[in-house]
Structure formats: structure tokens, C-alpha cells
Structure 1
Amino acid sequence: MPTTRSDFSGPRDLREMQAMCSRVWSPTARFHPGQLAWNRYSQPLDRDGMGRDEAISLWRIGDEVVGFGWAESPDWLELQVDPDHPQVAGDVVDWFEDWSDAPQQSAVAMAGDGVEPVLREAGFRPEPDGWHFSHHLLDLRELPPVHRVAGYVLRPVEQDEAALRAAVHRAAWSGLGPSRVTTGAYAQVMHAWPYRSALDWVACDDQRQLVASALVWLDEATGVALVEPVGCAPAHRGRGLAGAVTLAALHRSRELGAHTAQVSPRGDDDYPGPRRLYQAIGFRPVARTVTWTRSLP
């Protein structure tokens, strides 16, 4: 059957992209379905449209998505292609070149992925020593117990707590720049598949203020639970709260049928803290991303 392309038109398309990610998931696959939900909905947006400087396009064979390109900006491409249809990678790169007018462009791929020869042929060059993400996995049969932190209570969030949940995320991530996670954006996250409030855990201090959080996305089809994101407000760091809420959410995911957990922290030495946290829990690296760049005349 021929391959067809269509531009992103709303939540239904995202759900089809997630279905592909679930269908082709492996330890070396670029995306877990939960990552797409977080990337898309954790910012204010028109659910049915695109931002001014971004674009998404999908490739299908029949009714099944077999690849997509997500231009997060004119100089940055994220892509994933069904390994059974590697020819789609060339179409994705050609689409990005036609859409983007940036003189320098970057694309992210998993090391050893089938899209790498296509990127190389298109003039991209790898930057193996640059910043990258490292896929880590944990067999949930080996999950350590939740450690309690004196003075704090761990619990899942409620569906009506979008404002509080967004606020604790912003507090945790403020050191990296202004966060786009507004109350409205987090409400979108909470309505996205495969979000479950039972897997969205927070730590509360003795004033009942939310001070740390961990969100886990369980894909029932694969049994893989993705941790994304985790954070702790600066004033409460150093007590083990980030690890505690992560473990609490993972224990609940195991109760709901997950057998494997995944997390993808930075793998380079410029931002080592999260990686150390996850490895202390028992996560081990299995794959990494590589950024490819090219300059156009």
C-alpha cells in the first residue's frame, strides 16, 4: 500500500502517534506514548492547531501511522519511524527541509536507529560528545521500598488540583528558566491519554503545601511505565523527596500492571543530578540519543 502524509490536526492525530509509539516500543525506541502527551500538553496551546514556529506531520499506510516528524522549531526536528517501514525516514527529513528555513538544523535520533543513515545522507553530522538523553530501565520486580521522609506526606493528586500541581512543577523547575506549565496546561495533561491521577504523586509538607512531584505514564499495552517529569521545590531539596515520590508512583504502577519502568534523564555530565537519583533507585542505562546537525547554504 502507498504511504500518505497529512499535517497534524488535533488530539486524534496525537493519539495515533502514541499508538505507533506503543506498537513499536523497545528499550531503544525514541518515544514512549506518555512522552508525547507531556511534550504536547504541558504548555498553553490550541489543541487542534500548531504554534507559530512548530509543525507536525504524520505518515500512514492505510489507517496506521508508520512515522512522524515533529518540528519543535525551525531548527529542531524530533522524529520516529516504524522500524518495519524505514523508507519513511527519508520522507520525514525531506518534509522538514521543505518546511524549515533555518540555516542550521538539528535532529535527534537514538544511537543506532535506522533513521541515522538517512540523516547522514541528508548532510547531518552526529555530535556524540554533546548533551544527550539516556534511556534507563528498571525491572519493577526489583523496585526498592518507598522511604518515608519525616514531616512529609506522600499521596496522589486529585483531579481538581491542576492549579496546585502546576505550581509545584513550576517551583521545582524555575531554576532552568520560566516554566510554561500553567494551570490550564496541567489541566490538559490531566485529560490526556494515558494520564492517571493514581500515578501522579506529590509530597506535602506539614503546612499541606505541595513541595515535590513525580508523574508516571503507564502504557497498558506494553506494561512500561514512563517517569516524566520529577521535581522538588528548592527549599525542600536534600531530603530524598524526589526519590520518595518517584518510588511511590512506581509502586502504584506495578500494582496496576506495569512490569518495567523507563526514565530518560540527561546522560552527559553537564546535568548529572537526575541521573544519579534514578540510578540510586535501581535504573540502569540501556540506550542514548544522538543529536545530528547540518548547515544549509
Structure 2
Amino acid sequence: MRRDYQGPADLRKLQVFGQRIWSMASRFHLGELTWGFGFELLTRAWPEVPVALWESDGRVLAWGGLHRPGSLYLAVDPSHPGLTGEVLDWAGGLVAEPLTVTVLDTERHLIDVLTGRGYLPGDVDEPFLLALSRSLTELPAVPALPEGFVLRAVRGESDVAERVEVHDWVRAPRSLTEDDWRAMTGSWPYSTAFDWVVQAPDGEFVASCMGWYDEVNRCGEFEPVGTVSGFHRFGFAPAVVLAVLHAFRAAGGKTALVYPRGEDGWPAPRRQVYADLGFTPHARTVRYRHP
């Protein structure tokens, strides 16, 4: 039975559902559901963004979120692929323009329904995300930093202002308020154990990496990650990523993921950092459109 999203308690349901159906072929890791899609629901988009859940006996079997104009995100239990059509019908009834649906190219249970309904994949050179992964065994050691710079985990409320500032440097033009940050980091499964920064001698945070760990599937995703302008070429990005990877492994993790932009026109240095750290692609996003 379908019902509308009602608030943060339902985000937790979406997260638990994503955790239950997770595989390396899945689009939405627990971290992506929190940092990516869930962030908008926690901070500013809901109830403007329509979101619906399909449940049976209180158990989520599918959900869809419609980002206007006509851009649909969805997740469907692979054992209930027929619900994909119901999600498409619900979303299609809310917009006048043709739907665009983004999936991983490994989500065959979704792609089969989309193509069966006449949806066509977009051009291969349009914007997309690469799904990169690596094992957490035999990790490189975290490198030493230049004198005076410190690599450490975030300490909570005392670090909020600096943590938001480095986030906004890294993710411009997407910015956060301190209240946005508290809403996101106050939600499950955020933990300071997986949120690391490089701190300069003057106290400024100059690089950061936020990790999200799924203890059931023993898989961590990190996003966002980056270095403040003026502090590139010091090796801070690989150092802070490695710190998070080691934290994943210390928690029992077996695999790590990251989803950078993949198209040729997008700056490549970050992808090279991931390649140098042993990450390899296992999937990519594809946009399907109804003619």
C-alpha cells in the first residue's frame, strides 16, 4: 500500500530498507540515503519534494522521490520488481513533462521495467556518477602530514562552525547552515568516528572527508571529500580518505565505496586520487527518459 512520506521517522524506514536490500549492484548505500537524498528531507526540501513509500505490514518494499522538473529517484526490493511500475505511475501523475529516472546500470530489476515501458537510456557522455569500490584489506598506511598539520576525527559541537566552513569550501556552491549540519549529523547513522579533517597550525580545517558506515553489510561510503583552495598538492585528500578507510576497517568493514562524477568534462584529479588508493569502477548511473 502506498502512502506519503511523513517526516524523519520515515527517513529511518527508507534507510533500514536500503540496508536490507543492499548489494554492490544497488544505487543507494545507507550513506547516500542520508547525505544525498536524505539531507534534503532533513534540512529544507520536504514537504516540497513529493516522496512516497510502498509498504506491506509496515515493511517498506519500495519508495520514490520526485525532484521537479520530472526527475525521479527510486528504490524497489528486487523480490518485488512489479512495484517499479507503481512508482512510475505515481510519479508520472504528478508532473506534466516526461519523467527522467536515474538508476545504476547494474539494477536490472528496475531497468527491465523501464525499458519495457519504453524508457530509453540517455547519451553516454551526459553527466553521470561512477560507482568506485575497493576492499578494506591491505590498506596503505595513513601518510605523515607537513609539520604543524593535524589529521583527526571531528569532536562534535565544538567543531561545528569550522566543519561547516570546510564543507562549504569543498562543496561550493552547495552550502549548509550550522543548523543544517546539526540536523544531518544528528541523524542515524552519522558518527564522528568516520568524519575526519586536516587542521592547519592556525586551527583552520583545510581538508575533510565524511564517512557513512553500514555495520550490517560491513560497507562504508565516504562523501563529501575535498581540500580547501590553496592547500592542494600537500597530499591532504588521500590522507583524510585513508583515515576514514582505516576507521571503517576498525569498525569491522570489508568494503568502501565512493561515487564521483565520471564524465570526461568533469575535473579528474579527485578520480585520480581514488584510483591511486586502489578504487576501481563497478557500476555507473544512467538516466532513462520516457520519449
The reply to whether residue 167 of structure 1 matches residue 165 of structure 2 is yes
Residues 80 and 45 from structure 1, CA distance in 2 versus in 1: closer, same or farther, beyond 3 angstroms? closer
**Is residue 43–residue 181 contact of structure 1 (8 Å, CA) maintained in 2?**
no
Q: Deviations over 1:104-141 (max 9, x none)?
A: 43110111421112222334210251221111111101
2: CA distance between counterparts of 1:278 and 1:45?
A: 29
Which structure 1 residue ranges, 5 or more long, are not aligned?
none
Q: Which amino acid counterpart does residue 133 of structure 1 have in structure 2?
A: L
Q: What is aligned with 2:235?
A: 240
2:74 to 68, 79, 100: 79
Q: Which moved more, 1:57-66 or 1:216-225?
A: 57-66
Checking the alignment, whether the CA contact within 8 Å between 1:42 and 1:180 is kept in structure 2 is: no
DSSP 3-state at the match of 2:62: strand
Query: Judging changes above 3 Å, is the alpha-carbon distance between structure 1 residues 92 and 219 closer, same or farther for their aligned structure 2 residues?
Result: same
- CA shift at 1:24, angstroms? 1.2
CA distance in 2, matches of 1:206, 1:259: 34
How far did residue 290 of structure 1 move? 0.6
Equivalent residue for 2:20, pick from 23, 35, 40:
23
Residue of structure 1 aligned with 2:34, choices 29, 34, 37:
37
| Closer, same or farther: CA 44–57 of 1 in aligned 2, 3 Å | closer
Is 2:42–2:184's contact at 8 Å kept on the other side of the alignment? no
Per the normalisation by structure 1, the TM-score is 0.91
Q: Does 1:55 align with 2:53?
A: no
1:132-281 paired onto structure 2 within 5 Å: 132-151=128-147, 152-160=149-157, 161-174=159-172, 178-271=173-266, 272-281=268-277
2:2 is the alignment partner of 1:8: no
Separation (CA, whole Å) in 2 of partners of 1:42 and 1:60: 22
Identity within the alignment, %: 34
What amino acid sits opposite 1:126 in the alignment?
P
Q: CA shift at 1:62, angstroms?
A: 1.6
Q: Which amino acid aligns with 2:285?
A: T
SS at match of 1:235: coil
Kept after mapping to 1: 8 A contact 2:130/2:283: yes
Residue 110 of structure 1, aligned match among 77, 97, 104:
104
Structure 2: gaps of 5 or more residues? none
RMSD, matched Cα: 1.8
- Does the CA-based 8 Å contact 1:42-1:186 persist in structure 2? no
Q: CA deviation at 1:220?
A: 0.7
TM-score, normalized by length of structure 2?
A: 0.93
